[in-house]
Amino acid sequence: MKTILIIYPHWPPSNLAGVHRARLIANFLPELGWLPVVLTVHPDYYEEQPDWDMLKTVSEQIEVQHVNAKKIRKPRIIGDIGLRAFSSLKKAALGLIKTRRIDFIWIPIPSFYLAVLGRILYNQTKIPYGIDYIDPWVRDISNRKNFRAILSNLTARILEPYAVKKATLISGVSSPYYQPVLDRNFKNKLPKHVGMPYGFDPNDHQIKIESLIYPWNGDPECIPYIYAGAFLPKSDLFIELLFKAINKLKEENKWNDKIKLYFIGTGNYSHKSITQFALENKVNEQVIEIRDRFPFLHVLNFLSAAKGVLLIGSTEKHYTASKTYQSLLSGRPVFSILHSESTAVDVFRDCKAVNYLCEYVENETKELLLKKIKQTFLDFIEENKLYQPDLKQLEKYSAKKSAEVLVKGIDKVI
């Protein structure tokens, strides 16, 4: 069995979204002839609260080794855990390479700075490495003019060419996430590159948390619909029009006052809040926003217990909506607003789950989009359409399939 060294600073019990990328791929690698060795940072150095239930989602076949990191100081100048643990991860990686055979090094980013570690390790050991783009490193910051964002993007433009130049494999959650990397940094011979979605592990959805308190427990007559996950700046248009549509349904007496929309785990974002959008559109009594993050398995249990699930995407076509899979696997009807060219739309079509899908087409008027959202959402809450998705079609989007794509890519370059 070949050995892959996965370097990623967060690992269960961390509950950050990026953890699932490394975890989901690693869970299925042993079936494909690869032993995953995960090099990560000890939970004592995480800023977020640990979620110990997350350990239930990790395969026992994965070997995990922890390193220390510099602690957060006040004022918080360096928070990025990749930077705080960079020297420790480098030392531990070189130690592993000296004592055992490592066939490939795989580094999902962010933390973006660890991409540089791949190049450094290659220079010293010649072990091939790959960089996996969970998010773009160099990005559009036109809506963020603060000094930290500008400095971060400038640093990215300097470091990314160095980090990727010797990489033998570039991967990402979808090709639009890494295609600009290839365009910027490779004029002639391109490295091997593969796109594979987050996917999912169906076993996650079988784990039930006992004595769980649901967000709507204090309202026994509530009919709960739930959105779970970060609220992105380029989701603003969809949220605004959804709330306008609900307000119109109220005015037309087509709304059940027992319905409540729960937006949970939306995060500590700086743009206009969901709560503000709700107030402006006079639906604040119907909308409850809870910004605090919830443990991953709690969220899966919430989704399965709700009346329906909301999936609000982005006006950006490359948005992949990793929440698509957990929404469909909840077993509940799913209302979604997505860019028509998003890969998430393909997932809904393949699974025949488009009953309550509202597609955003670039340059269409707000009036037309509002009309579509209003009718689709009315059908959703009144269950006007038969919702029987074919979840067997999800298999090709699973984390196992993504792991297979990654392994095929690695096998071609080593």
User: pLDDT tens, 194-244?
Assistant: 999 888 999 999 999 988 999 999 898 999 999 999 998 889 999 999 999
Mean pLDDT of the chain: 93
Cα R_g (the chain), whole angstroms? 22
Q: How far apart are CA 239 and CA 247, in angstroms?
A: 12
Q: How far apart are CA 328 and CA 351, in angstroms?
A: 9
Q: What is the pLDDT of residue 321?
A: 67
Q: How far apart are CA 294 and CA 302, in angstroms?
A: 10
Distances (CA, A) of 411 to 11, 113, 135: 25, 26, 24
Residue 33 confidence (pLDDT) above 80:
yes
pLDDT tier at 143, thresholds 50, 70, 90:
low
Residue 271 confidence (pLDDT) above 80:
yes
Exposure string for 277-293, b = 16+ CB within 10 A, e = fewer: bbeebebeebbbbebeb
Phi and psi angles of residue 46, each rounded to the nearest 5 degrees, phi first: -80, 145
Q: What is the pLDDT of residue 155?
A: 86
Q: What is the pLDDT of residue 410?
A: 97
- Tokens in use for 36? 């995953």
Tally the residues of the chain: 414
Q: What is the pLDDT of residue 142?
A: 58
Q: How many CB atoms lie within 10 A of CB 186?
A: 16
With beta carbons less than 8 A apart as the criterion, state whether 374 and 367 touch.
no
User: What confidence tens digit (pLDDT) does each residue in 380-409 have?
Assistant: 999 999 899 999 999 988 999 999 999 999
User: What confidence tens digit (pLDDT) does each residue in 282-320 have?
Assistant: 999 999 999 998 999 999 999 999 999 999 999 988 777
User: What confidence tens digit (pLDDT) does each residue in 57-87 have?
Assistant: 999 999 999 999 998 887 777 788 999 999 9
Q: What is the pLDDT of residue 144?
A: 61
The verdict on whether omega for the bond into residue 13 sits within 30 degrees of 0, i.e. cis, is yes
Q: How far apart are CA 274 and CA 259, in angstroms?
A: 17
With beta carbons less than 8 A apart as the criterion, state whether 160 and 109 touch.
no
Task: Classify burial at 140, counting beta carbons within 10 Å of its beta carbon; exposed 0-12, middle 13-18, buried 19 or more.
Answer: exposed
Task: Classify burial at 297, counting beta carbons within 10 Å of its beta carbon; exposed 0-12, middle 13-18, buried 19 or more.
Answer: buried
pLDDT tier at 115, thresholds 50, 70, 90:
very high
All structural domains of the chain, each given as residue ranges with its CATH number in brackets, are 2-200+398-413 (3.40.50.2000), 204-394 (3.40.50.2000)
Helices (H) and strands (E) in the chain, counts: 13, 13
Between these two residues, 327 and 138, which has the higher pLDDT value?
A: 327
Q: 408-414: long-range contacts (C-beta < 8 A, 24 or more apart)?
A: 408/194, 409/130, 409/169, 409/171, 409/192, 409/193, 409/194, 410/4, 410/34, 410/104, 410/106, 410/130, 410/169, 412/192, 413/128, 413/168, 413/169, 413/191, 413/192, 414/103, 414/104, 414/128, 414/168
Q: For residue 132, which of 13, 234, 4 has the smallest C-alpha distance?
A: 4
pLDDT tier at 141, thresholds 50, 70, 90:
low
Q: What is the pLDDT of residue 11?
A: 97
Q: What is the pLDDT of residue 367?
A: 96
Q: What is the pLDDT of residue 187?
A: 83
User: CA 362, 178, 148: angle at the middle one, nearest 5?
Assistant: 85
Percentage of the chain modeled with pLDDT above 70 = 98
With beta carbons less than 8 A apart as the criterion, state whether 28 and 58 touch.
no
For residue 183, the one-letter residue type is D
- Tokens in use for 349? 């079509």
> Which H or E run includes 158?
helix 147-164
With beta carbons less than 8 A apart as the criterion, state whether 409 and 192 touch.
yes
The 3-state DSSP class for residue 287 equals strand
Q: What is the pLDDT of residue 192?
A: 94
What is the arithmetic mean of pLDDT over 376-383?
97
Q: For residue 162, is it left (φ>0), alpha (ψ between -120 and 50) or beta?
A: alpha
With beta carbons less than 8 A apart as the criterion, state whether 39 and 9 touch.
no
Q: How far apart are CA 34 and CA 55, in angstroms?
A: 21
Residue 8 confidence (pLDDT) above 70:
yes
Q: How far apart are CA 320 and CA 341, in angstroms?
A: 10
With beta carbons less than 8 A apart as the criterion, state whether 355 and 378 touch.
no
